[in-house]
Amino acid sequence: MAKYYKSRSGAVKQLNSADLPEMMSTIQAAQYLGVNSNTIGNWIRAGLLPASKFPGSSIYRINKADLLEYVNRCKGGAYSEGI
């Protein structure tokens, strides 16, 4: 089933999981979801979105499967299936 999201402009776009890299930065995840990269960081720090962090670094990497699972859990919010 296709996944859709609303961009900041309000346009409904299809999230094509085939276009996502297996591991991505917060900036890449934010671009796919149409949110600010700070929002992605907030979700990670709040424990809502799993991510890996390199030792001694502030850089997060997000697994594709974890991002898609998070999008699926957000039903009823800005993201939904089959709009």
Residues 9-45 have pLDDT tens digits of: 666 666 666 777 889 999 999 988 889 999 999 999 9
Contacts of 12 (CB under 8 A, 6+ apart): 4, 5, 6, 83
Q: How confident is the model at residue 33, as a pLDDT?
A: 85
Interatomic CA distance for residues 41 and 29, integer angstroms: 10
Q: Round the average pLDDT of the chain to a whole number and report it.
A: 79
Domains and CATH numbers, the chain: 3-81 (1.10.10)
Q: How confident is the model at residue 3, as a pLDDT?
A: 56
Token pair recorded at residue 61: 């990497």
Q: Are 61 and 14 in contact (CB under 8 A)?
A: no
Q: How confident is the model at residue 83, as a pLDDT?
A: 36
Q: Are 61 and 25 in contact (CB under 8 A)?
A: yes
Q: How confident is the model at residue 21, as a pLDDT?
A: 83
Q: Are 61 and 24 in contact (CB under 8 A)?
A: yes
Q: How confident is the model at residue 8, as a pLDDT?
A: 61
